[in-house]
Structure 1
Amino acid sequence: MTQSCYLLLRMWLAPYTHQLLSLEHDSSPKQISLPNMKSTCLSYHLVSNSCNGLLCLYSDFSCGRDVFLSNPTTREVRLLPSSDLVTKVKDGMILGVGMGHDYRTNNLIKVVRMWESYRECRRCKEYIVEEYDLRSDAWRTIQSSNPWCCEFDTSCFAMHFKGIYYWWAKLKGLTTTILALNVGGGILHKVSLPKDIDISSSNGRYLGVLNECMTLVCRNCCDQNANFDIWVNDGSGLGDSCWNKLRTIEHSSLCMPLAFWKGNEFLVKVFDKVRSYNVETEEIHNVNFENKGGEIVEIYEAIFCVKSLVSVNPLPLSIEFERYG
C-alpha cells in the first residue's frame, strides 16, 4: 500500500458508533478521533460510502433528509443544502444515500438519494432519484423508471463505479438482486449475476472494486460450508459483461465479509477476530486494531477511505473554471 488511508468501522450493538483508524503503510491500524460533529447535530448518523477521500454521512433520525460530507484528513464537515423534495414529498421516505463523482473528471463530487413516494391512490408507489452536484451546490430531481418492479429496503445503496450507482433490491419481495442506475438516463437496469449465489443477507455480501473491476463477494447457495466466493467483472454488469470466479475464501466457521483495504487484501470478521485475506497469494493473517474501547465482535461494517485534501465546500467559480475549463 503506497498511500496512507483510513478504515472506518461501524459497531453492531451501537449502530451510530464509528471508529476511525489510520493506516500508515505496513503499521498496525491506529484509532484516531473523528471530526467534530457535535455542532452539526450528527448524533444519529450513518456512513454511506467514501469517494476521493470524502465520507458521505446521513442522519438516520431525519430519515436521510440531512446529508453531510466529511473529510477525515482536513477535519471538515459540511451539511448539504436542502432540496425541494424534502418539503414536497410528504408521504414518502428516503431509502438510500450514496456518493460518487463525475466519471469524466474524477473530481466533481456528486451525491444521490433514492426516495420512495406514494401516489394519491396510496396503492402505487414510485421511486424518485435526486442528485446533488458539489459544483453547483444544488440538487436536481430525476424521475426514475423501475421496469423490474423491484422493492428497496433502507440502506439499499451498494456502491458507485464508473459513473453508475448500484443498489441492493428484491424482485417481488423475494429474490435479492442488484440494480444499476445511470443518473443521466434515470432508468434502473438489472445487473446480470453469477448463478447459484446468495446475496439475500446484508452481512453475507459485499460489492466493491478490485483492480479496477467490479467485485462481488458472497456465498454459494449450493455450498453448505461458510465459504465465500470472489467474483470479478471487468464491465458494468450490464449487457454482455460476464462474471468470473477469482477465488474462494474457505472457512469452517461463519464469517462476515467487510471490505477491500490494502490493495488486493480483503477483510473478513470471524467471531472475535478480523482477518485479512490476500486475493493473490491466498494468505490469511489476523489484524490487530489498536482501538480504544469496542470489541472486535461488535464490528458490523468497514469502509475504506483514502487520505486527500478534497474540500467539502463548493469551489469558487474562478478556481472551478481554471481546473475544469
Structure 2
Amino acid sequence: MAQSSKLVEEMVAQFLSRLSSKALMRFKCIRHCDGIICLSTFLCDDRDIALCNPSIKEFNHLPKSCIHLPPQDEDDYVHECNVGFGYDSKAKVYKVVRIVDFSSSHPPRVEVYTLGADCWRENKAFVLGTISSPRSLHMHFKGIYYWSGFSYITRELQYVLFAFDMSDELFYLIYPPEVAFGIYLNLAMWKESLLLITHREEAPKCFDLWLNEDSDFLKGSWTKYFTIKPIEAYIPLVFWKSNEILMVNVDRRIVSYNLDTQMLKCLPIHGAEDPLCIYAINYVNSIISVKRNNKLECVETYI
C-alpha cells in the first residue's frame, strides 16, 4: 500500500510539472476507478486532464477538446469544467466525461473521451442545471459518476445530485433526503451501496448515514441507516474497511471510526495540514494501459 501511495504521488507531481502556473493555481481534484487515476484542473484546454496508472508507471495527457471554445470576453466565456471518470460495463471501456459550463446564457456542453482513443467526441446529453461539485460530492460507483449541483428543471433552483451513466451517456437527477438541505453532504461507497453522509458545521459533530436502496441507484430512495454519535471529527473521507471510515479530526489528523465499537482510532498518517485538500481512495493495482492507440477521426464542434 505504501508503494502504491508513493507511485501515485510521483504521477501527481509529473502532472503538476507539466502545467502552467495559471493551471497550477486551479488544480482541482483526483478521480479513481479500478487502479486508474484521473487528474484535472478547472481549465478547458489541451493540457488540463491526464490519466495515469501508478502500477505500470504510465502517464498520458488527454487530447485537445473537440469543442471550439469562444474567446473570454465580457458576455461569453467558459466559467469552469467539471470532469468525471468511470467504467462502461456494457462496452467494457473506461470513459472521461467533461462538462463545459459557460458564464453566459449558453447551456453547458458535454464531451466524452474513451480510453485508448485519440480524440474527444461531443455528447448531446442535456445537463438540466449547474454542477457545483465540492470534493466530497463527486465519485464513481458502479458505472455512474456523481456530482452535486442545482437543477432548474422547475422555476426554483433545487439542490440535486447529477448522475452520468457511463453506458447510455445520459444525465439523471437524484434528489437527496429533505433533511439534508442546508447541511453538509458527503458521498461514499459502503458494502456495495451508495451512501450519503450528512452533518452540520458545529462541533462535536453527529454524522447521519443514508443508504440509497434503489437497485440502480438513480432514484432518491434514501433511508437513514446509522447515526454516528457526537465526535471530534471534521470531514469524513472513505470507508476503508467494511465497518470503518477514515475521517479528519479537529486536530487535522487522520482517524478511523469503527461503526461497531463507535470508537475513534488515530492513525500514523501525515499530510492533513489542510483538510479541505485531502483525498482518500481505496486503491487497487491495475495493468490497464492509459496510452492512446486507436486512431479515430476527430471533429471540432463550434458553439
Quick check: TM above 0.5? Answer: yes
Which residue does 2:178 correspond to in 1? 195
Which residue does 2:78 correspond to in 1? 92
Contact 1:95 1:153 in 2 (8 A): no
Letter in 1 for 2:143: G
* CA displacement 1:23-55 (0-9 Å, x = unmatched): xxxxxxxx9852351663377233331011011
1:56 paired with 2:35, answer: no
* CA displacement 1:55-114 (0-9 Å, x = unmatched): 1101346679621011222232210111221x34443243311110112365x2211111
Q: Quote how far apart the aligned CAs of 1:164 are.
A: 2.1
Contact 2:80 2:100 in 1 (8 A): yes
For residues 72 and 115 of structure 1, do their structure 2 counterparts lie closer, same or farther at Cα, with a shift above 3 Å needed? same
Which residue does 2:280 correspond to in 1? 303
Aligned partner (choices 165, 170, 188) of residue 145 of structure 2: 165
Letter in 1 for 2:268: N
Which residue does 2:60 correspond to in 1? 78
Contact 1:135 1:314 in 2 (8 A): yes
- Specify which structure has the bigger relative contact order, considering alpha-carbon pairs within 8 angstroms and separated by 6 or more residues: 1
Contact 2:186 2:197 in 1 (8 A): yes
Which residue does 1:10 correspond to in 2? none
Percent identical pairs in the alignment equals 26
Q: Quote how far apart the aligned CAs of 1:171 are.
A: 4.3
Q: TM-score, normalised by structure 1?
A: 0.71
Structure 1: 4+ residue segments shifted above 4 A = 60-65, 154-157, 171-175, 183-187
Q: Quote how far apart the aligned CAs of 1:218 are.
A: 1.3
For residues 134 and 89 of structure 1, do their structure 2 counterparts lie closer, same or farther at Cα, with a shift above 3 Å needed? farther
CA distance in structure 2 between the partners assigned to 1:99 and 1:142 by the alignment = 15
Which residue does 2:258 correspond to in 1? 278
For residues 307 and 57 of structure 1, do their structure 2 counterparts lie closer, same or farther at Cα, with a shift above 3 Å needed? same
Q: Quote how far apart the aligned CAs of 1:281 are.
A: 4.7
CA distance in structure 2 between the partners assigned to 1:227 and 1:127 by the alignment = 37
For residues 134 and 125 of structure 1, do their structure 2 counterparts lie closer, same or farther at Cα, with a shift above 3 Å needed? same
Which residue does 2:301 correspond to in 1? none
Gaps of 5+ in 1: 7-19, 23-30, 318-325
Contact 1:266 1:276 in 2 (8 A): yes
CA distance in structure 1 between the partners assigned to 2:280 and 2:182 by the alignment = 19
* CA displacement 1:260-295 (0-9 Å, x = unmatched): 223442111111222112335544311111x4xx4x
Q: How does 1:3-152 map to 2 (within 5 A)?
A: 4=1, 21=5, 33-35=9-11, 37=14, 40-41=18-19, 44=24, 45-60=27-42, 66-85=48-67, 87-90=68-71, 91-104=77-90, 108-117=93-102, 122=104, 124-147=105-128, 150-152=129-131
CA distance in structure 1 between the partners assigned to 2:244 and 2:91 by the alignment = 28
Gaps of 5+ in 2: 72-76, 296-303
Q: How does 1:225-236 map to 2 (within 5 A)?
A: 226-234=205-213, 235-236=215-216
CA distance in structure 2 between the partners assigned to 1:238 and 1:50 by the alignment = 21
CA distance in structure 2 between the partners assigned to 1:309 and 1:259 by the alignment = 24
Contact 1:98 1:113 in 2 (8 A): yes
How many positions carry a matched residue from both structures? 276
Cα root mean square deviation, aligned: 3.4
Contact 1:48 1:98 in 2 (8 A): no
Aligned partner (choices 150, 160, 174) of residue 177 of structure 1: 160
* CA displacement 1:171-206 (0-9 Å, x = unmatched): 468653212223565553221322311465xxx422
Q: How does 1:195-234 map to 2 (within 5 A)?
A: 195-198=178-181, 204-219=184-199, 226-234=205-213
Q: Quote how far apart the aligned CAs of 1:253 are.
A: 3.8
Deviates more, 1:223-232 or 1:258-267: 223-232
Contact 2:235 2:275 in 1 (8 A): no
Report the 3-state secondary structure (helix = DSSP H, G, I; strand = E; otherwise coil) of the residue aligned with 2:280: strand
For residues 229 and 142 of structure 1, do their structure 2 counterparts lie closer, same or farther at Cα, with a shift above 3 Å needed? same
For residues 64 and 94 of structure 1, do their structure 2 counterparts lie closer, same or farther at Cα, with a shift above 3 Å needed? farther
